[in-house]
Structure 1
Amino acid sequence: MVEKARMNFARWWYHANIPFHAARSVYYQEAIDSIAAIGPGFKGPSYHDLRGPLLQKHVCEMNDYLFDVKNDWKVYGCSIMSDGWTNQRNTPIINFLVYCPRDNDSAYKAAGKKLMQKYGSFYWSPCAAHCIDLMLENFSDRRYFPIIHETIKKAKKITKFIYSHGQVLSLMRSDFTNGRDLVRPAITRFATEFLSLQCLTKFKKELRQMFTCDQWVESRYARDVMGKEVAALVLEDKEFWLQCQQIVKISEPLVRVLRLVDGDEKPSMGYLYEAMDKAKENIKARLKNKISAYIPFTSVIDARWDKQLHSPLHVAGCYLNPGIFFRPSFKKQKEITKGLLSTITRLVPDPDEQDSLSSQIEAYKKALGDFGMPMAIRQREKLNPVAWWEQFGNDTPELQKFAIRVLSQCCSATGCERAWSTFEFIHSKRRNRLEHKRLNDLVFVRYNLLLRERNIRRTKDYLDPISLIILI
């Protein structure tokens, strides 16, 4: 009976062409258990049930779940995130989600600034991940950094050859890299290229061993023109490997910042300002503080930071992050005060409330009251900033509310990218006739089911702060 049930289920699965990874859904076994509990004779929902009443019930269920989430906006605030996408009919679509800042397309930038002009208590902020990706793109621009461009081109030749030939890829994974890959997909295009350089450098010894082993020498690929070129590149081009090491040394701090802002588990608003500063200092140190060596790279970072990414909101986040503000090595308290005051002026339009915040800032700045408790001092770098303010900011309720709202925001629009992957999964070539409302309902239900699942599975380290030690 058990085997027959498994076979029947598998037959339906294959006939419906359902992806195998659907079996990993947390709702998979739950659905099977509910059918088994009813017993023989249960009739599954029909085509019309699934696209009509059952879908609407799930929309209502998600709205009930989101009711509690929306109540949190009163405490933590929220950001509206927008991103563009073009469907298979080349119809442009704009997606809106609530949580983190937006992309940096000129249209979005113009719209954001107009909104800031219209609504005095509104902040437009670009997607930090996209801005940092543009910095990495500038690092590989052949006009300004031809050596980096050429090195990445050679690295692509190696990875493309290996990944285009299954036998070579299998040989590398099984005998030399212990199943690990050279290509590591990242959230952005150029980060992927620099991460691949890191992997090539890490597995340099193993790659050289592979291109001299008997399996390679005896294979037909070793006699192929492209195979010979790639083997020569790996075995004989010493300058290539030296450049790989140098490029990894320069780009690694920026890639680490990109990873920091990409995470939507822990808001990074309180860390971005200091993280970018540390990344620049790290690049200078790696280039032995030689001005002629580091200036081309720090100039790229500064240009993007000053013209696109920098916002008083990031500065305020840094000021209100006790783990950074009270650190003895942090010397920019006066510099970031201006950004904090600018943020207060925009986000808090009421003059009386502004005055209250101004007076309460002194208590925080001088660590008075609960801020100066031994426990509060010990927890500055042990708790994430939001949790710290919730515990120790009760003596300054207006400042506590303001700090929690600022520090709860994300800096990246990658959540929107994930929504598009959901949208594209649902709006495929085979399903491109879905009505607009039904399509929206499907995306809404699926995306929020995944969001609810993620919140349930959050680990204890959610309350831990983000560590900037990796940037040193």
Structure 2
Amino acid sequence: MGRKKDIVRKYFEQVISNDKRQSCKFCHKEYNMNVNKMKAHLLKCSNCPQQIKKKFYSNTTSNVTEDQIQTVDEYDAHLVVNSHKSLTINKFFDHMNKSENVRLNEKLALAIIVSGSPLSMTEHPLWIDFFKQIRPTFKLPCRKSISTVYVDKVYAEMQSSITYDLLEANDLHIQLDGWTNINNDGIINFVICKPEPLFFKFLNTKDNRHTAEYLKNQIVEIIETYGKEKFFVIIGDNAANVKKSFELVKNVYKGIQTLGCAAHGLHLLCSDIFKVDSVSEFLKQNSSIVSSIKRSQLLSSVFKKHQQIKGINVQLKLPVKTRWGSFLFCLESLMKNKSVLQAMAVDDTIPISLLKPIKLTLLDDSKFWENVLKMINLLTPIVNAITVSVLNHNLIHRVRSLLNDVEKKVEECFSSSITNSLFSITEELKIINNVAKRKIFILGKIHLAAELLDPKSQGLKLNADERVDALEFIYNLGVEMKIDIMNDLSDHQSKQGYFAKKFIWENSLITDPVKWWKFLDNISPLSKVAVRILTAPCTSAATERTFSTFSWIHSKKRNRLTTERAGKLTYLSYNWKLKNKKSEISKNTEANNCEESSVDVVIQEIQSSSSSFNSEKNDENMIISKSDSDSDCDSDSETSILYNDTSSDENSVSCSEKEDEDNY
């Protein structure tokens, strides 16, 4: 009968050119007639099905039966028919090369940075297990790798992107402000508007004093980097050193315009009002009422019970010393809960000792509640103006009208006849004078020019003197930019020439002023001057928002972050969110998409847990403690975060992937 053929030969075929060599049916690799080598090959052949490999896990084939041989023959026939399908399935296994691992690590690092997650999260066993379940071959970076290698890499990439944007822009404006972080380090943040406010630079001043000369040198360095012909406006707060540094810069660059922050000026107006003796005492009284209820478990419970009875769902709010808008919110919360508070005052179930200090006040309709209403009427136009001015939109053309509205409503508030007035006549006159003083600090000729160039208002509400100042400013800027705009400016004012065309004005009421003028870029020489004016920022709110991000990242629970490292994290977080605003999708849209398809991808901007960081419309964003400032306020803001990182960037931490850290 002869010796039985080994079953391994079923998976090899004879090479035509050489009858002593066999070729693998799956990968066509050739071998001499050696069954042991052929078996070893099948075990490691990537194309060989697992069902066949299992037959050769044993070192011997002595126990192989005829039934098994029959099964193999049947499987071979099936394999020929379904060879493509089998090879495709069995070729699949998790594999990741080094470059792909590095790319994923960079994306993971950016997600951790932007979302404010702790850098050490990749060393937590649950996260390690989670990623292992998703991609077993994915090697997570350790905390030290993220805080050094990957932070530096994505930071350099972001810097390159922002530098490109600034080099491409024609009109640039600088915002700056000083701040003291949690470690008491002096920091100056610089924002460049193009007109979108990009966080350009953070400067740890160390032992350098924030003198006017020091600030001037830093500003000049930025201007020289991107070209003096591009820069137009520098804006900051009312600090003496900042104002002096602006004067020094203007001596170097005659075409630079220096502005005071509109929001800061309005905040200072609030400060002026709160310094009035009668207002100060009244606000203390309001704070005491809210504090008494909030700090007592019994009063708080009874308050909620009466709220449910009356169907009111507005919580009492305590004011924050340095956030002027919060005083208005405190007063409004009291007024909305007036019926609830008065019901509490006559509730027999509450011990007399708890309500005695505030009972008479709550029941005093003739004085207390009228004064609450009067303070609300006084503060509302100011807070509304702050809320509008701090937006990132181009609003310099609306500043004059906002200030005039504040001035008008403050005067109306004092002219209304209410008995038992909160203010004396002297105090009313003092507040009106303060409004005029802050208006002078904020308003300049550039604001008048912007309103004149606004296609919606067209400067119709400017008086004769204001119109002349606006025209003079526009003409001088044209001379500075070496653009002949005299004829074009005349046609614009008289609506002649190109400006007589109906189609040009058709969308002026609904189109952004900057876009409207850019539409005329190749038609009107005046458009370049108009765009430069209308893109100028009216506040340094964007700089304040960088400080909000800074305090959110470099918090009390992450105080071991170095200032340099925290600055880079802030730079990445702020600029990424700014650049990716267009990809933000509402939560409702995301929920709907998830219901329709489980594989839909919804890109949503990661939101901050800090309330001062979430909303551009909240005036509370604007109040940040400043070093070397003449501001009367001193911030003690505490922001909360979703994730906390207590790891130090300076200390070496053992890394299970030391090789990865060195290589990546």
- For 1:98, what is the secondary structure of its paired residue? strand
Selected match of 1:138 from 272, 292, 311: 272
2:150 equivalent in structure 1? 54
How far residue 204 of structure 1 moved from its aligned partner, in angstroms, is 2.0
Post-superposition Cα deviations, 1:92-113, rounded to whole Å, max 9, x if no partner, equal: 2222222373121111111112
How far residue 336 of structure 1 moved from its aligned partner, in angstroms, is 3.1
Task: Quickly say closer, same or farther: Cα 1:170–1:40, change in 2 above 3 A.
Answer: farther
1:410 correspondence with 2:506: no
- For 1:110, what is the secondary structure of its paired residue? helix
Which amino acid in structure 2 is aligned with residue 59 of structure 1? Y
Contact 2:448 2:467 in 1 (8 A): yes
TM-score normalised by structure 1 residue count: 0.76
Task: Quickly say closer, same or farther: Cα 1:337–1:206, change in 2 above 3 A.
Answer: farther
1:364 equivalent in structure 2? 492
Selected match of 2:317 from 183, 193, 197: 183
1:113 correspondence with 2:247: yes
Post-superposition Cα deviations, 1:431-456, rounded to whole Å, max 9, x if no partner, equal: 55545543332221122122223343
- For 2:191, what is the secondary structure of its paired residue? strand
1:197 equivalent in structure 2? 331
CA RMSD of aligned residues (A): 3.5
1:91 equivalent in structure 2? 185
Alignment partners' CA distance in 2, 1:206 and 1:371:
59
How far residue 166 of structure 1 moved from its aligned partner, in angstroms, is 5.3
Selected match of 2:286 from 127, 146, 155: 155
Post-superposition Cα deviations, 1:156-177, rounded to whole Å, max 9, x if no partner, equal: 1122223334554465466257
- For 1:236, what is the secondary structure of its paired residue? coil
Alignment partners' CA distance in 1, 2:536 and 2:153:
31
1:43 correspondence with 2:143: no
Alignment partners' CA distance in 2, 1:458 and 1:374:
37
2:457 equivalent in structure 1? 324
Alignment partners' CA distance in 1, 2:116 and 2:138:
22
Alignment partners' CA distance in 2, 1:349 and 1:35:
59
Selected match of 1:80 from 174, 179, 198: 174
Ranges of 4+ aligned residues in structure 1 off by more than 6 Å: 184-187
Q: Number of residues paired by the alignment?
A: 414
Alignment partners' CA distance in 2, 1:263 and 1:164:
35
Task: Quickly say closer, same or farther: Cα 1:363–1:198, change in 2 above 3 A.
Answer: farther
Which amino acid in structure 1 is aligned with residue 363 of structure 2? L
- For 1:85, what is the secondary structure of its paired residue? strand
Post-superposition Cα deviations, 1:339-381, rounded to whole Å, max 9, x if no partner, equal: 442365368525x42xx12332112212234434334434333
Task: Quickly say closer, same or farther: Cα 1:322–1:445, change in 2 above 3 A.
Answer: same
Contact 1:122 1:347 in 2 (8 A): no
- For 1:182, what is the secondary structure of its paired residue? coil
How far residue 239 of structure 1 moved from its aligned partner, in angstroms, is 0.7
Alignment partners' CA distance in 2, 1:242 and 1:179:
22
- For 1:125, what is the secondary structure of its paired residue? strand
Task: Quickly say closer, same or farther: Cα 1:111–1:319, change in 2 above 3 A.
Answer: same
Contact 1:103 1:127 in 2 (8 A): yes
1:5 equivalent in structure 2? none
Alignment partners' CA distance in 1, 2:346 and 2:521:
63
Which amino acid in structure 1 is aligned with residue 540 of structure 2? A
Task: Quickly say closer, same or farther: Cα 1:358–1:231, change in 2 above 3 A.
Answer: farther
Deviates more, 1:193-202 or 1:315-324: 193-202
- For 2:146, what is the secondary structure of its paired residue? helix
Alignment partners' CA distance in 1, 2:322 and 2:471:
31
1:451 correspondence with 2:578: yes
Alignment partners' CA distance in 1, 2:505 and 2:298:
58
Task: Quickly say closer, same or farther: Cα 1:166–1:231, change in 2 above 3 A.
Answer: same
How far residue 155 of structure 1 moved from its aligned partner, in angstroms, is 1.2
Post-superposition Cα deviations, 1:388-419, rounded to whole Å, max 9, x if no partner, equal: 2223464313x211211221222222222221
Alignment partners' CA distance in 2, 1:455 and 1:297:
42
Which amino acid in structure 1 is aligned with residue 188 of structure 2? I
Which amino acid in structure 2 is aligned with residue 406 of structure 1? I
1:374 equivalent in structure 2? 502
- For 1:270, what is the secondary structure of its paired residue? helix
Structure 1: stretches of 5+ with no match in the other structure: 1-17, 24-30, 460-465, 467-472
Contact 2:399 2:443 in 1 (8 A): no
How far residue 61 of structure 1 moved from its aligned partner, in angstroms, is 3.2
Task: Quickly say closer, same or farther: Cα 1:439–1:171, change in 2 above 3 A.
Answer: same
In our comparison, the structure showing a higher alpha carbon Rg is 2
Alignment partners' CA distance in 1, 2:464 and 2:584:
37
2:469 equivalent in structure 1? 338
- For 1:323, what is the secondary structure of its paired residue? coil
Contact 2:477 2:529 in 1 (8 A): no
How far residue 385 of structure 1 moved from its aligned partner, in angstroms, is 1.4
Q: How many percent of aligned residue pairs carry the same amino acid?
A: 22
Task: Quickly say closer, same or farther: Cα 1:441–1:275, change in 2 above 3 A.
Answer: same
Alignment partners' CA distance in 1, 2:581 and 2:491:
37
1:245 correspondence with 2:339: no
More strand by share: 2
Selected match of 1:256 from 361, 368, 384: 384
Post-superposition Cα deviations, 1:32-72, rounded to whole Å, max 9, x if no partner, equal: 9x958962242211123201221122113323442554256
How far residue 123 of structure 1 moved from its aligned partner, in angstroms, is 1.6
- For 1:45, what is the secondary structure of its paired residue? coil
Alignment partners' CA distance in 2, 1:72 and 1:289:
54
Q: Which has the higher contact order (CA 8 A, sep 6+)?
A: 1
Contact 1:102 1:126 in 2 (8 A): yes
Selected match of 1:233 from 350, 361, 365: 361
Contact 2:491 2:498 in 1 (8 A): no
